[in-house]
Amino acid sequence: MTIDLRYSDEVNRVITQTRTFIDDYVLPLETEFAGDLTAAGGDDLRLEMQAKAKAAGIFAPHAPVEFGGLGFNMSDRAPVFEAAGRSVFGPFATHIHAPDEGNVHMLDHIASPSQRQQFLAPLASGEVRSAFAMTEPSPGAGSDPSALATAATKADGGWKINGHKWFITGADGASFYIIMARTSGEPGDRGGATMFLAPAPDPGIEIVRHIGTIDRAGIGGHCEVKFTDLFVPDENVLGEVNEGYRYAQVRLGPARMTHVMRWLGVAARVHEVALDYVARREAFGGRLGDLGMIQQMVADNEIDLAASRALLIKACHELDLGRNAGDETSIAKTFAAEAYSRIADRAVQMCGGSGVTDDLPIARLQQELRPFRIYDGPSEVHRWAIAKRAVGRAKKAIEAAAL
């Protein structure tokens, strides 16, 4: 049976129009403000760009059609997100940025009818921003989510949340938070977590600080946040009580892949800039691109881009079939995150002195790419999970053969 990897006419239209929109309108803005979206205008610019994306028919390809999106599945999102990701401003312009894109996906699958109207509708339309509050300072939840320490205790008509979170992307200015808090058990237990929808601002929510990081293309920072007796009514429990970890899987696998999609656009752009440079630059009696050492780096970049796309396509296919795709998403995320760093490093090297200057965007984009090896699970944690599952399968095969 032949596997058809072609896209529909509608998807191809959106790919083409997104690429044109990014190259003609968004990239000049990114260049003007050196990739700093806050300095470029923050939310005001985001809304302005999104209005143009809506007019172009390329807004929110992932969001439900009923709320103004295009309703694409994971496989169809991949090339569109890559096209938008050519600019670090692009995901905000087309409304596919983190964490809002992942929150839209999760709310669409889990939210109650009333929650869809109160939270999903304004988020999907780009009217508001949101935050996903999971990660905590040590010894709380990080790479090990079972260490969750933020606690929600039952109160009359709802819950009171107390806890300390950090690296909460987009927290400053978010209209609401999705908070993971422990409702039973103790830190270290595998279950007992619940997700809550908390409108902001609220006296029980304190943004302690913006944590300075090397990436700066977002809005609302990567923030340290404290919750003190934050009251959340029962109707704002997202999903079922004590089932937060299970529901979070609805978000985590797809969100890893949409990160791979967006950063693939950046990595491809970095490679294109380097290719253009070595095809023009004359040295040693010819063009740099004619030298064997340069050609090896070009070829390795091409291989890393192609392999990243292939792994991404496989993982998205599994997700679209409704499967867990734990191995596929971990493999694609780990390989791509490291491949993108390799691509950027080679691109800097190919461009020599120019590669580390502001004359080209490569060094700046390299800083944006580097955190992806940590965000959404460090490579080491994904490798551990991949190996643990593989060894587990091997043990089961041995036990079955012994029967």
In this structure, the answer to whether residues 208 and 258 fall within a common structural domain is no
Q: Has residue 34 been placed in a domain? A: yes
**Six token digits for residue 315:** 């993982």
Per-10-residue mean pLDDT, the chain, length 403: 85 98 98 95 97 98 96 97 98 97 96 98 98 95 92 98 97 98 93 96 98 92 97 98 92 94 98 97 92 97 98 97 95 98 98 96 96 93 96 96 88
Q: Are 105 and 255 in contact (CB under 8 A)?
A: yes
User: Cis before residue 361, ω within 30 degrees of 0?
Assistant: no
Instruction: Indicate whether 121 belongs to any domain.
Output: no
Strand (E) or helix (H) holding 153: strand 151-155
User: How many C-beta atoms surround the C-beta of residue 50 within 10 A?
Assistant: 19
Is the separation of the CB atoms in 87 and 26 below 8 Å?
Answer: yes
Cβ distance 87 to 27 under 8 Å? Answer: yes
**Is 118 domain-assigned?**
no
Domain that holds residue 361: 246-402
Question: By the 8 A CB rule, do 39 and 111 touch?
Answer: no
Count CB-CB contacts under 10 A for residue 245: 18
Verify that 274 and 219 share a domain, yes or no.
no
Cβ contact 240:191 at 8 Å? no
The CATH number that applies at residue 226 is: 2.40.110.10
Token code pair at residue 101: 């894109």
Residue linked to tokens 């293309």: 217
- Regarding whether 162 and 276 lie in a shared domain, the answer is no
Secondary-structure percent of the chain, ordered helix, strand, coil, rounded to 5: 55, 15, 30
Q: Check residue 217 and give its pLDDT.
A: 86
Last residue of a domain, one of 55, 76, 97: 97
266 and 228 in one domain?
no
pLDDT of amino acid 3: 77
Among 73, 97, 121, give the residue marking a domain's end.
97
Among 179, 213, 242, give the residue marking a domain's end: 242
Count of domains forming the chain: 3
CATH of the domain at 43: 1.10.540.10
- DSSP strand pairing (130-133 vs 222-233): unpaired
Answer whether 389's CB lies under 8 Å from 344's CB: no
Contacts with 95 (C-beta within 8 Å, 6 or more apart), sequence order? 50, 53, 59, 60, 63, 101, 126
Residues contacting 28, CB < 8 A, separation 6+: none
My answer on whether 231 and 367 are in the same domain is no
Task: Answer yes or no: do 147 and 207 share one domain.
Answer: yes
User: Helix 362-369 and helix 326-350: axis angle, to 10°?
Assistant: 160
Tally: H helices and E strands in the chain: 14, 10
What DSSP state is assigned to residue 128?
S
Residue 3 falls within a domain, yes or no? no
b/e map 63-97, b = 16+ CB within 10 Å: bbeebbbbebebbbbbbbbbbbbbbbbbbbbbbbb
Distance separating alpha carbons of residues 187 and 185, to the nearest angstrom: 7
The helix-helix angle for 362-369 and 244-280 (nearest 10°) equals 160
> At a CB cut-off of 8 Å and minimum separation 6, what does 323 contact?
none
DSSP 231-260: EEEGGGEESSTT-HHHHHHHHHHHHHHHHH
Write out the DSSP string of 339-354: HHHHHHHHHHHHTGGG
Residues 307 and 360 in one domain: yes
* The token pair that represents 46 in the structure block: 């985001």
- Residue 124 covered by a domain: no
Cβ atoms of 158 and 236 closer than 8 Å: yes
| Assigned domain for 102 exists | no
Asked if residue 194 and residue 164 are part of one domain, the reply reads yes
* Residues found in the chain: 403
pLDDT at site 1:
60
Same domain, 254 and 160: no
The Cα 336–Cα 338 span in angstroms is: 5
**Could you tell me the CATH number of the domain that includes residue 359?**
1.20.140.10
Domain match, 25 and 147 both: no
Is 231 found in the same domain as 261?
Answer: no
Same domain, yes or no, for 255 and 236? no
Beta strands in 255-357 (DSSP E): 282-283, 286-287
Q: Is residue 61 part of a domain?
A: yes
Answer yes or no: is 236 within a domain: yes
H/E run at residue 197: strand 193-199
